[in-house]
Amino acid sequence: MKPTLPRGTRDFTPAQLLKRDFIFDTIKKVFKKFAFAPIETPTMENLSVLTGKYGEEGDQLIFKILNSGDFLLEPKNKNIELQQVDSKKLLPFISEKALRYDLTVPFARFVVMNRNDISFPFKRYQIQPVWRADRPQKGRYREFYQCDADVVGTDSLLCEAEIVLMIHEVMQHLGIKNIEIKINNRKILSGITEIAGSFGKETDICTAIDKIDKIGIEGVTKELFERGISQTSINILLPIINFKGNNSEILYFLKSALQNSTIGTKGIDEVEQVLHFIDQFGTQIDALKIDISLARGLSYYTGAIFEVKALDVQMGSISGGGRYDNLTGLFGLDGVSGVGISFGVERIYDIMEELNLFPQTDNSYSKILLTHFDVASMNYGMKIVANLRSSNIAAEIYPQVTKIKKQFEYANAKSIPFVAVVGETEMQNNTVALKNMLSGEQNIVDKDNILEYLQLK
Amino acid sequence: MKPTLPRGTRDFTPAQLLKRDFIFDTIKKVFKKFAFAPIETPTMENLSVLTGKYGEEGDQLIFKILNSGDFLLEPKNKNIELQQVDSKKLLPFISEKALRYDLTVPFARFVVMNRNDISFPFKRYQIQPVWRADRPQKGRYREFYQCDADVVGTDSLLCEAEIVLMIHEVMQHLGIKNIEIKINNRKILSGITEIAGSFGKETDICTAIDKIDKIGIEGVTKELFERGISQTSINILLPIINFKGNNSEILYFLKSALQNSTIGTKGIDEVEQVLHFIDQFGTQIDALKIDISLARGLSYYTGAIFEVKALDVQMGSISGGGRYDNLTGLFGLDGVSGVGISFGVERIYDIMEELNLFPQTDNSYSKILLTHFDVASMNYGMKIVANLRSSNIAAEIYPQVTKIKKQFEYANAKSIPFVAVVGETEMQNNTVALKNMLSGEQNIVDKDNILEYLQLK
């Protein structure tokens, strides 16, 4: 049989992991600098924790795990009439657990379960894979990593400012410099619906607006109408949402447009305060743009909304987040406001590949290969390798006696930068013949000086 | 509703992750020094890849994933007669994927699928969680990490020697110094069964011998008899298996006891060769003990067998491995011999906790908290925090104006080592009042000298 991988999943080779780790390490370093601490949650969550948190569509994309053992024989299942059930009815009888769908809901669950041991405001980051039974396509996988940072237990807008700073710094360090950090506020969107006489329809309106990039202003108009927004409302809504300008112009325009909406005015104040805090931190972030049409699908945002796009490539957002006022309320803990950001590693990886942004460092996991001609020279080489390792050099010896050509081929295939050759002459003189595989340069080096030689090169 | 975790799974707090990372980093560092490179495989594997590789008992412990969508309506399921099925019969209709059960089988699958891109001998390490639907108990979880290193594509016994060196070094660096590294060889066990006239019954005999620590020599005798080994065979087998002595004595004894078994003699030669290679590497490993009764459950071992025990605690093995001659043969690629080792992180963690071996480093993710009295001093503090961060210090500012007492409580709860207080005097003098939370020492420090101050302390 020829083995295969499940659709939408991937193996990672050493070369790919080197690049992925560069991304993870960069993000982690910034999170840590801002005093976020890591947590990890289990791959499996109870279905009761996940179900109903991602909308009906989301629920269907959750990978469910079969109960273990003889799941049809469980006592509670003795009345199940199999001939009558459909998949949905059967599910509760045979599955109680599922794979993590995102990191936000498990984090809310974590906060609620550990509330007595956590000191608030609680700043955590979390870098783990999530799973979605989505239709796989280019750049979309069924298993992929999320890198999240959230602060919960404070509604201070200073946290929003810090999130913008973190986004900015992560992108700078990754080398993705031409970006747009979009910011909006759910309260502004609420204010607009209020002004337009369709208050309470935020979800419909946001869902439609969310597609503005894909279907254009006309498509949005059509969808709004289909969702029961009156033409009068649409006529008020759209010019506001579609207003373009720099941040000052947008704020000036909104203040007038939403002056009769308390919640809208509050949203504008919040955005202004975030901008002010960023100033106070002393960083100028030209990439930060207010975008009134930014809604993002998730309906749990209550304040700031963020989204990051790389401008040099055609691709969806590479990071997004916002403030949610009552996420832990889902699990019975009210009054814990939070704000967070999530980086999409898979898209960041693709962008960095496309723009050739990964650092051109030595990508070999092995620094030197010791080659030999016979048992005697192999034995001689083993001590040399042991010595190099004791100085923390990733060193290896070809593990069996074979043609020197084959050993060099191995070094080439693995991009090992140095090969030491040991033959009779070298053994007699306590040396090795050391070849720089990149330059082709070859030198006879005293066996105790290899370390110095490698460090110089 | 009160959320819960699935049985046998755990959240990890920042403090726990710090300790777990110490273990992971230590193991990784050693793997890398020996020129092993990392790979990662997906959490989900096709059931066809996993099923039948872990024995019948193992198969039942595999967590199966429900097909996504309306699994009962898939075309191939239209003839399924639900009223007649039991769990086992239903399974192939509703599940095609499962969670990784170990790292060895996915690795074999990886090697087969990537054989054209891999240069052999291929040295890989892999550190990822695995899942088993085992009954949870103290120290046994349903989700736990394995840390594996394997070399495939060579039968050189130098690899076995390097594995012993890696085990030794990992344990030294972790501080678990009082250990026993047991080594045996499957061929010796085969030789013994040959001598005893029960050749071909290795699996039965190994399974029984494997329990010698738990059920003693009498228990093993009884089980061997129940498994159809004749009393005559048992009488020959057991004295050999039960022979005790130092490594030289055991080898001397075995050479005579197995002189009429070709395979047994080969096993003895292999063990001797491994010991010789370790000598050649120049490391003396007193912890390495030949143990003729070491079998380990897994039936795929064909050569060396390893197991590591910590002697200062009552606990099962913390590491194990061996050589397998035909693992990739399961997926149609023959002739790829391999040898590997797996470290059990959960048990290592428990041992290190019990023996208090974790380094007593600063366990705060936050180095300094900036506290303040009002909006003005908060604004003043934000620039200071930004400065510290630009020097890579994990720094934070309390995100809202509140009582200074509350801010100090926050610092205490998070074990933040330094707190900077900013009030009117400090703002006027361009200083902060810097308190060392451990010593209680407090100093007025120029705001531009905080970095130097922190580095001195």
Per-residue model confidence as pLDDT tens digits over A316-360 = 899 999 999 988 998 999 999 999 999 999 999 999 999 999 998
Please indicate whether, in this complex, the C-beta atoms of B5 and A91 are within 8 angstroms of each other: no
Structural domains in chain A, sorted by start:
14-63+101-354 (3.30.930.10), 368-456 (3.40.50.800)
pLDDT value of position B147: 98
Question: What residues of chain A lie within 8 A of the CB of B66, using their CB?
Answer: 63-66, 91, 94-95
Give the best residue of A17, A40, A416 to mutate against chain B (max B CB count within 10 A).
A40
pLDDT value of position B13: 95
Please indicate whether, in this complex, the C-beta atoms of A143 and B42 are within 8 angstroms of each other: yes
Using DSSP's 3-state secondary structure scheme, residue B128 falls into: strand
Please indicate whether, in this complex, the C-beta atoms of A383 and B281 are within 8 angstroms of each other: yes
pLDDT value of position B77: 65
Please indicate whether, in this complex, the C-beta atoms of A410 and B119 are within 8 angstroms of each other: yes
Alpha-carbon distances of A32 from A110, B292, B396, rounded to whole Å = 20, 50, 10
Report the residue of chain B nearest A78, measured CA to CA: B86
Question: What residues of chain B lie within 8 A of the CB of A90, using their CB?
Answer: 72
Residue among A156, A366, A413 minimizing CB distance to B35: A366
Residue among A64, A110, A392 minimizing CB distance to B66: A64
pLDDT value of position B187: 95
The string of DSSP letters for B117-151 reads TPPSSEEEEEEEEEE--PPPBTTB-SEEEEEEEEE
Report d(CA A301, CA A325) in Å as an integer: 7
Measure B239 CA to nearest chain A CA, in Å.
Answer: 36
> Which residues touch A214 (CB under 8 Å, ≥6 apart)?
none
Report the residue of chain B nearest A363, measured CA to CA: B37
**Half-sphere CA count of A356, side-chain side, radius 13 A:** 1
Report d(CA A206, CA A189) in Å as an integer: 8
pLDDT value of position B343: 97
Using DSSP's 3-state secondary structure scheme, residue B228 falls into: coil
Residue among A40, A72, A282 minimizing CB distance to B87: A72
Please indicate whether, in this complex, the C-beta atoms of B400 and A332 are within 8 angstroms of each other: no
Q: Which one has a higher pLDDT value, A87 or A321? A: A321
Report d(CA A78, CA A72) in Å as an integer: 8
Average pLDDT of A50-72? Answer: 88
Nearest CA-CA partner of A230 in A189, A197, A273: A197
Tokens representing residue B278 in the block: 């370790």
Alpha-carbon distances of B43 from A13, A64, A142, A165, B327, rounded to whole Å = 15, 14, 10, 33, 20
Give yes or no for a cis peptide into B121 (omega within 30° of 0): yes
Nearest CA-CA partner of B144 in B359, B321, B360, B350: B350
Report d(CA A353, CA A355) in Å as an integer: 6
Measure A41 CA to nearest chain B CA, in Å.
Answer: 5
Q: What is the ipTM of this complex?
A: 0.93
CB B300 within 8 A of CB B186: no
CB B434 within 8 A of CB B445: yes
Using DSSP's 3-state secondary structure scheme, residue A395 falls into: strand
Please indicate whether, in this complex, the C-beta atoms of B394 and A34 are within 8 angstroms of each other: yes
Please indicate whether, in this complex, the C-beta atoms of B11 and A39 are within 8 angstroms of each other: yes
Question: What residues of chain A lie within 8 A of the CB of B110, using their CB?
Answer: 11
**pLDDT band at residue A198 using 50, 70 and 90 as cut-offs:** confident
Report d(CA B91, CA A68) in Å as an integer: 11
Q: Which one has a higher pLDDT value, A437 or B139? A: A437
Question: What residues of chain B lie within 8 A of the CB of A383, using their CB?
Answer: 280-282
Question: What residues of chain A lie within 8 A of the CB of B372, using their CB?
Answer: none
Alpha-carbon distances of B74 from A63, B70, B79, rounded to whole Å = 17, 7, 10
Question: What residues of chain B lie within 8 A of the CB of A33, using their CB?
Answer: 389, 392-395
Question: What residues of chain A lie within 8 A of the CB of B112, using their CB?
Answer: 2-3
Using DSSP's 3-state secondary structure scheme, residue B371 falls into: strand
Report d(CA A416, CA A419) in Å as an integer: 7
Please indicate whether, in this complex, the C-beta atoms of B46 and A133 are within 8 angstroms of each other: no
Report d(CA B189, CA A154) in Å as an integer: 64
Tokens representing residue B210 in the block: 């494997």
Q: What is the pLDDT along chain B (457 residues), one digit of tens a residue?
A: 789 999 999 999 999 999 999 999 999 999 999 999 999 999 999 999 999 988 888 899 999 999 987 777 666 666 666 655 677 778 888 899 999 999 999 999 999 999 999 999 999 999 999 999 999 988 899 999 999 999 999 999 999 999 999 999 999 999 999 999 999 999 999 999 999 998 888 778 888 887 888 888 889 999 999 999 999 999 999 899 889 999 999 999 999 999 999 999 999 999 999 999 999 999 999 999 999 989 886 568 999 999 999 999 998 899 999 999 988 998 999 999 999 999 999 999 999 999 999 998 777 899 999 999 999 999 999 999 999 999 999 999 999 999 999 999 999 999 999 999 999 999 999 999 999 999 999 999 999 999 999 886 6
Give yes or no for a cis peptide into A106 (omega within 30° of 0): no
Measure B432 CA to nearest chain A CA, in Å.
Answer: 17
Measure B245 CA to nearest chain A CA, in Å.
Answer: 29
Please indicate whether, in this complex, the C-beta atoms of A72 and B66 are within 8 angstroms of each other: no
pLDDT value of position A76: 65
Measure B161 CA to nearest chain A CA, in Å.
Answer: 10
pLDDT value of position A83: 56
Tokens representing residue A76 in the block: 């509670």
Measure B83 CA to nearest chain A CA, in Å.
Answer: 5
Question: What residues of chain B lie within 8 A of the CB of A69, using their CB?
Answer: 60, 87, 133
Report d(CA A75, CA B50) in Å as an integer: 29
Question: What residues of chain A lie within 8 A of the CB of B396, using their CB?
Answer: 34-35, 123
Report the residue of chain A nearest B59, measured CA to CA: A69
Please indicate whether, in this complex, the C-beta atoms of B399 and A110 are within 8 angstroms of each other: no
Q: Which one has a higher pLDDT value, A81 or B103? A: B103
Give the best residue of A41, A72, A331 to mutate against chain B (max B CB count within 10 A).
A72
Reported pTM: 0.94
Is residue A73's pLDDT more than 80?
A: no
Question: What residues of chain A lie within 8 A of the CB of B334, using their CB?
Answer: none
Report the residue of chain B nearest A382, measured CA to CA: B281
Amino acid present at B97: K
Please indicate whether, in this complex, the C-beta atoms of B3 and A48 are within 8 angstroms of each other: yes
Please indicate whether, in this complex, the C-beta atoms of B38 and A17 are within 8 angstroms of each other: yes
